[in-house]
Amino acid sequence: MSKRDLKKYLQELDKRQLEEQIIELYEKFSPIKTYYDFVFNPKEDTLLKESKLKISNEYFPARTSGKPRRPKMRRSVAQKYIKHFILLGVDPFIISDLMLYSIEIAQTFSAEKTVKSELFYKSMFNSYEQAIIFMIANGITEDFKTRIIAINKETVYQKWYNAPEFNAIIERFEY
């Protein structure tokens, strides 16, 4: 069904029928429930804290029953939250904060433990590039300039093999 057909169909319904359909959708589909729950009670700060905790647990997992757990270091966890925030229409400043946080926590981890996986460094570069593209699109790079530069400097300090690629991004924006 096209958007035009949907509009035509909705115009044929009276208010009560529309309300019934929206309530049915709310009860039936969890993404719709999540959306309406967010719209009427955003709690962006709580969402951000929960997301940061989950992301940090990927690198610094909490101990369970006295045994240390292995870090999973999955970039996909951060990407899932970022995508969710974008779909909900969360403030771009909060999304940018989360994007940079996911890289910063990974850098904190790699400063403590040597990471041998080339894929780790490539995925961090992809995250960095995506974050900067997102900030440019929303006109907020200046607000995050300090953190953007700090991430770049940390790649050089930690001698990441792809530090020149991070640096090339910075040079394009003449920070």
3: in domain = no
Q: Using the 8-state DSSP alphabet, how is residue 12 labeled?
A: H
19: in domain = yes
User: What is the total count of domains within the chain?
Assistant: 1
What Rg do the C-alpha atoms of the chain give, in angstroms? 21
Per the structure block, which two tokens stand in for 38?
């967010």
155: containing domain: 14-59+71-173
CB distance 110 to 158 below 8 Å: yes
151: in domain = yes
Per-residue pLDDT at 37: 80
Spans in the chain with pLDDT lower than 70? 64-66, 174-175
147: in domain = yes
31: in domain = yes
**In 8-71, where do the E strands start and end?**
none
142: in domain = yes
Distance CA 89, CA 69 (A): 34
113: in domain = yes
136: in domain = yes
